[in-house]
Amino acid sequence: MNGNLKCFLLSTIGLACYSIADSSYAGSCAPAAGPHTYTYSANFNANQNHVGYTTNWQEFNRSDGYSLPAPCNRGNNTFITLKPSSGLTEGSRDGDTVWYNIPGNDYLQVAMKVWIGGFRSKWVSIPVTAMSNLCNSNDCTPQYSSGSKVQVRLRIKKKFVGQSFVLDREVGQILMATSAGDVPNKPVAIIRLAATMTVPQSCTFDVGNVIEFDFGRIQAGAFESAGAGNRPEGTPIMTKNIGVECKNIEAQQLLSARVEATNPKNNILVSNNPNVGFQMLDKDDKVLKINTINSYIPFRLDNNARGRFTIKAVPVSVTGVKPQPGFVNAQGHVRIDFQ
């Protein structure tokens, strides 16, 4: 059996985009109009790539407001709930601003504010529960301004090299109800974030974009004998010494390399054969924990902004089940970070 590990250090021109879309649902406070989307784009430069750098608040303004069907169409008191979407966790607070960690991204945090209209007329940070717009006795118009304006900003929580991804995902919800005791479960609006941030600091490998480990032929039965999580008897640990050249990064900078992958299992890069995988090791044969920011290989650049690190790979059984014979390969990504 052959096992090829392909690792990529990616670099593209990046852009950060935020969008907010009204979402039409069946229910008492679903928006009457169709979804409305706001889009924002920005680039980070080298001077901004430091821990704590924060973008300005970017406002998305739907100036004409929107209407809602009965019983939310009378201009009376409405209770607004603002919450982060599933998976976001609170990172810290800065005054009334709440910063949220974004699942799958180790470098950025997001903060959101929503305009509450009526006689409240103020910006409110997510989260909040059942805040009244202070429209009593039908003294507001049926046209809603609450949720028609949103502000979003990003903050760097860890300096990054080359590129940091936030896939298009929901990050916040705006919900409404006709009484404080109601628990709304259908959002009136959804805040979405789609971002790719690229900075001029970048690194390349001397082996090109692919670090390949070729283990040749391995008997299928050896994986069954090894048992789940173990290396088949007689298979080698392969070692690669990778040269790194960086741009726009100071000489003698301490960096690190770590492994990322989609759907690993027990720190194993699972191959196209679900019973066969590969573990990545550092120079001391310590297993690298996949998608873990604190599991890495440190290295330092020289005066020419070049450095080297050692990474190893070993085939392992994923399940302890004898795999079907045939060519197998697994892919992961090596990410370079500042330390």
Identify whether residues 142 and 20 lie together within a single domain: yes
Name the residue with higher pLDDT: 100 or 163. 100
Q: Report yes or no: 190 and 41 within 8 Å, Cβ to Cβ.
A: no
pLDDT at residue 91, rounded to an integer? 96
Instruction: Print the domain residue range for 306.
Output: 202-338
pLDDT tens digits for 191-247?
Answer: 888 777 778 889 999 999 999 999 999 999 999 999 999 999 999 999 999 999 999
Of 143, 168, 198, which residue is a domain's last?
198
Summarised one tens digit per residue, pLDDT across range 248-284 is 999 999 999 999 999 899 999 999 999 999 999 999 9
CA 36, CA 24: separation in Å to the nearest integer? 10
pLDDT the model gives residue 38: 62
* Strands annotated E in the chain: 3-7, 15-22, 58-61, 79-84, 89-94, 97-101, 108-116, 122-125, 128-132, 149-156, 163-177, 189-198, 202-205, 238-247, 254-260, 269-270, 276-281, 297-300, 306-317, 328-338
Higher pLDDT, 128 or 17: 128
* Whether pLDDT at 32 is above 70: no
Residue 100 and residue 239 in one domain? no
The more confident residue out of 99 and 164 is: 99
| Structural domains in the chain (count) | 2
pLDDT tens column, 168-192: 788 999 988 888 888 887 888 888 8
The helices-and-strands tally (H runs, E runs) of the chain is: 1, 20
- How high is the mean pLDDT of the chain? 84
Q: Are residues 153 and 229 in the same domain?
A: no
pLDDT reading at 152 higher than 90: yes
| One domain for residues 100 and 121 | yes
CATH number for the domain that contains residue 243: 2.60.40.1090
Do 141 and 51 belong together in one domain? yes
Q: With respect to residue 3, please indicate whether it lies within any of the assigned structural domains.
A: no
Query: Based on the domain organization, do 67 and 112 belong to the same domain?
Result: yes
Give the model's confidence band at 28: pLDDT under 50 very low, under 70 low, under 90 confident, else very high.
low
Q: Among 166, 182, 198, give the residue marking a domain's end.
A: 198
Q: What is the pLDDT of residue 62?
A: 76
- Rounded CA-CA distance 336/306 in Å is 13
Percentage with pLDDT > 90 across the chain: 57
Tens of pLDDT, residue by residue over 57-86, are: 999 887 777 777 777 777 678 899 999 999
Domain with 193 in it: what CATH number? Answer: 2.60.40
Q: Verify that 168 and 263 share a domain, yes or no.
A: no
Classify residue 249: in a domain, yes or no. Answer: yes
Residue 190 sits in the same domain as residue 120: yes
- pLDDT at residue number 35: 44
Both 105 and 161 in one domain: the answer is yes
Answer yes or no: pTM beyond 0.85. Answer: no
- Tell whether 206 and 262 lie within a shared domain: yes
In a domain, 9, yes or no: no
Rounded mean pLDDT, 302-306: 96
Residues 257 and 148 in one domain: no
Supply the pLDDT for residue 39: 62
Domain boundary among 198, 224, 247: 198
CA distance 164 to 202: 12
Residues 44 and 188 in one domain: yes
State percent of the chain over pLDDT 70: 86
pLDDT of residue 255: 96
Q: What confidence tens digit (pLDDT) does each residue in 41-54 have?
A: 666 777 888 899 99
- What pLDDT score does 163 carry? 79
Q: Residue 2 falls within a domain, yes or no? A: no
Closest among 56, 16, 67, 17 to 37, alpha carbons compared? 17
Domain-located, residue 146:
yes
Query: What three-state secondary structure class fits 114?
Result: strand
